[in-house]
């Protein structure tokens, strides 16, 4: 059964059938080969999405779209530019910093790409940066949308591996800040070498003015994250609060969202949410079948036999996840792999929260690596260029994030120190 499922999935990938459909078809074939009742597919697919924490996904997606339309994104850009935009290379640094702030409420890298990229990619091009570089920078920076909490992939890992989502969120700040500051340092040096960005400070608002204009926008992450860690509401409830806040600010304070805009915002959010939920349902059925077939236990025993130490295990997992992330959507990969790998990581003495951050950061790389990098497609759409033009500019960014990933992997304190302080473990 397992062999038939794997072969079917690989063939579907080769035929460029979508990941969710490929996983679903292979799972259905597995049920047929195993002579199981087909009602099992309905039951397990429904069970996969019938989990309260998953309600956060459509709400965070809707909040991101409301922020984009309601002027919150633009004001965050101006605020970030007032901080770092005055130096050579300040505009690319503004892109990274804005994505870090936007990530603290959006939970989605694709939403971050569209919301921030629609403003900053044209601005970067206007200031003389090559269009492919602007798109590559935006796609990479938006990856922070799933690393800095709240994060949809962290929610999925928490549900799949039965790990506290609150602990994952607080642990995500260290890796997110490390990657964000590393990217800002890199683009600053790179622009100095290339001679780009000497006029980036033009049109920059003062810090005080920008702070006043972005005041309501900046309160959003404070309310959302403060509420989560203050115990006022759960991460799932926080997603609904984010929607309510973005709607009130966009409609009644900034006045940039009208009644007529709501249909388009809701339609876009529903479509994005439906795609993710369809992936989760199919991946949940697939994970159930391979678990029932004993695959996780077999892989666990094999990894224990081949990879004798935690260090070797983490190196092997990182290599495998990097390759998998190139071909499988992040959400699907987490749902399928987390129940398999997390128990093995615990056996090696690795904290499941730390391991979750390793998985999320690594698979987030898949969002900016061909052939199926969703951030790349989003950035290319905004920049109106083909994917092949962006690839040469991606290599340095991928190198920076890989270096950060190795630090995050082998220095667990980056992820766990803040978690241990907050939760007093």
Task: Output the six-digit token pair for 415.
Answer: 């992820």
Q: Which pLDDT does position 300 carry in this prediction?
A: 65
Residue 67, classified by CB atoms within 10 Å of its CB into exposed (0-12), middle (13-18) or buried (19+), is buried
Query: Among candidates 205, 238, 310, 208, which has minimal Cα distance to 56?
Result: 238
Q: Which pLDDT does position 131 carry in this prediction?
A: 93
Q: Which pLDDT does position 380 carry in this prediction?
A: 84
Which residues have C-beta within 8 Å of that of residue 373, sequence separation ≥ 6?
Answer: 139, 326, 366, 367
Angle subtended by helix axes 173-194 and 387-410, to nearest 10: 130
Handedness of CA 166, 168, 171, 177 (dihedral sign): negative
Q: Which residues of the chain have pLDDT under 70?
A: 1, 13, 19, 107, 295-297, 299-300, 304, 371-372, 424-425
DSSP H helices in 230-258: 235-248
> CA Rg, the chain, in Å?
21
| 233 three-state secondary structure | coil
Q: What pLDDT, in 10s, does the model give residues 324-344?
A: 887 777 877 888 788 888 988
Q: How far apart are the first and last CA of the chain?
A: 43
Which residues have C-beta within 8 Å of that of residue 206, sequence separation ≥ 6?
Answer: 82
| Residues 140, 378 contacting (CB under 8 angstroms) | no
The helix/strand count (H/E) of the chain reads as 22, 0
Q: What is the pTM of this model?
A: 0.80
- How far apart CA 168 and CA 101 sit, in angstroms, is 18
Q: Which pLDDT does position 297 carry in this prediction?
A: 66
Q: Which pLDDT does position 424 carry in this prediction?
A: 64
């Amino acid at each position: 059964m397992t062999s038939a499922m794997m072969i079917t999935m690989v063939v579907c990938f080769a035929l460029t059938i979508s990941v969710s459909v490929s996983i679903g078809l292979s799972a259905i074939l597995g049920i047929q080969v195993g002579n199981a009742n087909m009602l099992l597919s309905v039951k397990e697919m429904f069970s996969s999405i019938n989990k309260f924490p998953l309600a956060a996904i459509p709400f965070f997606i809707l909040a991101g779209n409301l922020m984009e339309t309601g002027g919150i994104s633009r004001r965050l850009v101006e605020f970030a530019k007032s901080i770092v935009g005055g130096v050579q290379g300040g505009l690319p640094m503004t892109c990274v910093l804005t994505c870090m702030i936007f990530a603290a409420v959006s939970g989605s890298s694709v939403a971050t790409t569209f919301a921030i990229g629609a403003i900053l990619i044209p601005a970067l091009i206007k200031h003389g940066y090559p269009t492919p570089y602007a798109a590559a920078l935006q796609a990479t920076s938006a990856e922070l949308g799933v690393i800095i909490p709240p994060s949809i992939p962290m929610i999925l890992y928490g549900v799949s591996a039965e790990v506290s989502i609150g602990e994952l969120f607080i642990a995500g700040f260290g890796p997110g800040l490390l990657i964000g500051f590393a990217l800002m340092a890199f683009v600053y040096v790179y622009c100095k070498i290339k001679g780009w960005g000497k006029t980036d400070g033009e049109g920059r608002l003062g810090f005080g003015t920008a702070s006043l204009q972005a005041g309501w926008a900046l309160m959003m992450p404070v309310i959302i994250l403060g509420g989560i860690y203050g115990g006022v509401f759960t991460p799932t409830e926080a997603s609904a609060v984010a929607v309510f806040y973005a709607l009130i600010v966009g409609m009644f304070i900034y006045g940039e969202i009208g009644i007529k805009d709501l249909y388009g915002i809701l339609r876009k959010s529903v479509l994005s949410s439906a795609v993710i939920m369809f992936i989760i349902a199919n991946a949940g059925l697939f994970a159930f079948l391979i678990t029932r077939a004993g695959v996780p236990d077999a892989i666990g025993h094999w990894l224990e036999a081949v990879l004798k130490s935690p260090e070797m295990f983490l190196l092997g997992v990182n290599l495998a996840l990097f390759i998998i992330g190139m071909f499988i959507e992040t959400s699907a990969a987490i749902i399928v792999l987390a129940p398999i790998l997390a128990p093995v990581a615990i056996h090696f003495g690795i904290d499941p929260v730390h391991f979750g951050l390793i998985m999320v950061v690594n698979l987030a790389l898949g969002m900016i690596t061909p052939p199926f990098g969703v951030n790349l497609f989003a950035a290319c759409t905004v920049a109106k260029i083909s994917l092949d033009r962006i690839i040469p500019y991606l290599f340095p960014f991928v190198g920076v994030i890989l270096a950060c990933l190795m630090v995050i992997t082998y220095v667990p304190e980056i992820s766990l120190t803040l978690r241990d302080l907050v939760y007093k473990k």
